[in-house]
Amino acid sequence: MIMDKKPVRPELVEGPSFSSATGERKDSPSTSSGQAELGSICGKLSQNTPLAPLVWFKTGGAAQWLFEPADSDDLSQFLARLDPDVPVLALGLGSNLIVRDGGFPGVVVRLGKAFAKVTADGLTLNCGAGASGILVSSTARDAGIAGMEFLRSIPGTVGGFVRMNGGAYGGEVKDILVDCDVVRRDGTLVTLAADDLHYSYRHSELPDGAIVVAARFRGQAGEPTAIQAEMDRIAASREASQPLRSKTGGSTFKNPDGHKAWQLVDAAGCRGLTIGGAQVSEKHTNFLINTGDATSADIEALGEEVRRRVKAQSGVELQWEIQRVGVMK
């Protein structure tokens, strides 16, 4: 979701409502009826919440509202009552995300511990959307389920994997997804089969505002020791080739057909290129890093400059893989 400098700003209700999580009375986002009836939510609703601590780049502005639902029903009820004009963004680990410096004028939904459970049932894993790739792959290993080792390498959560058809080291979510539970923007909860998402490379047709709350993955029978060995191989490869201990957003650009994005970036002379506090990683040129004092504007401008240079050098137009949200400052 990319907004211009003058997004539709959600109206605040006239009177205060009660947040059961904080015990405080505060304004709430407007509901579809124009009156605040969000006081019955069980989760936590907070206003003007800084997002920089919640994303890997450690940059960006605040969320106008941050909602942390107690469970799927709580999220459904909240979205059903929320004015449909209010933008909604799901936030996982914030690993593949640039939040612009002007913040996000709407509601950011963050799925917490209640959505981070993973259980095995035969060769199928039942995963909450807030579960990390490491947790999913480790649970699969313990249950003797192969085919999910690649999730060990993706810095994110199940909700993001499902939406973006996350993949690495030869595996993609489309290869293991059975179905997923999604709360639509109007609050309805539906189960979608993998075919319903019409997957392509790093893309699905989930609509804006729809939030994945759970997913089922299916693998093949495997030996835990062999699964662990493959996970170790992937972890060692990442350690050797990626700037894992930097403030980064993961892979910046999608790999174009027939090309590797990092090779195109390197060939265009962008290794180590800087704008403000943002830098193209010396270790892996498809990673942008915050060297310490970068703004989101620095990072996005650097990415655009890389795209310009690659197009000039090779004729290939790189596409962002990192999601960019919010408004410019």
Residues known to be catalytic = 202, 251, 321
Cα gap 234→64, rounded to integer Å: 38
Contact yes or no for 45/28 (Cβ under 8 A): yes
Count Cα neighbours of 247 within 13 Å in the Cβ-side half-sphere: 20
| Phi/psi of residue 253, nearest 5 degrees | -120, 150
Contact yes or no for 200/165 (Cβ under 8 A): yes
Strands, E assignment, 12-103? 17-19, 24-26, 44-50, 62-68, 88-91, 97-99
DSSP string, 177-222: EEEEEEE-TTS-EEEEEGGGG--BTTB--PPTT-EEEEEEEE-EE-
Burial (Cβ within 10 Å: 0-12, 13-18, ≥19) of residue 23? exposed
